[in-house]
């Protein structure tokens, strides 16, 4: 069974099973997705920007970015269809981070791993004799 919840989009009560929204909000979102998907698939719209797609479909830019982050819309082959990097807000059209933010994150993770390793090496080891 599911839990009784308030829909985060409309506030109506619904029973949460699979989705995080009520059926009405889910179907509305699916219609929005379908509008965006059909629009960008037309060859004459391949050079559209996210703003142009939003204006043409009446689907908010944030909702379109949400679809991209879900992996439902792939924009790698659309040269002008960019959205903000999660790190620095620079326009990107693949993934969630630009290359610069990816490199910075990798560097920070490497430094953290190095520090952790050095801290572990500095800890005394305790050996027990089993004699």
pLDDT digits (tens, 9 = 90+) for 64-98: 999 999 999 988 888 898 999 999 999 998 888 99
Nearest of 71, 44, 43, 38 to residue 57 by alpha carbon: 38
Domain ranges of the chain: 24-81, 85-119
CB–CB of 11/24 below 8 Å?
no
| Residue keyed to tokens 């479909």 | 57
Instruction: Check pLDDT > 60 for residue 128.
Output: no
DSSP secondary structure code for residue 129 in this structure: -
CA dihedral 55, 58, 60, 63 (to 10 degrees): -120
pLDDT digits 0-9 by tens, 3-29: 888 888 898 988 888 888 899 999 999
Q: What is the pTM of this model?
A: 0.73
């Amino acid at each position: 069974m599911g839990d009784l919840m308030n829909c985060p989009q409309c506030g109506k009560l619904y029973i949460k099973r699979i989705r995080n929204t009520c059926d009405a909000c889910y179907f509305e979102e699916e219609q929005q997705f379908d509008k965006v998907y059909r629009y960008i698939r037309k060859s004459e719209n391949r050079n559209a920007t996210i703003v142009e797609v939003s204006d043409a479909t009446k689907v908010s830019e944030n909702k379109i970015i949400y679809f991209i982050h879900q992996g439902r819309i792939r924009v790698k082959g659309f040269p002008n269809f960019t959205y903000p990097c999660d790190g620095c807000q620079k326009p990107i059209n693949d993934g969630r981070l630009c290359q610069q933010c990816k490199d910075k994150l990798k560097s920070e993770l490497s430094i953290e791993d190095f520090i952790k390793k050095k801290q572990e090496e500095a800890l005394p080891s305790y050996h027990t004799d089993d004699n």
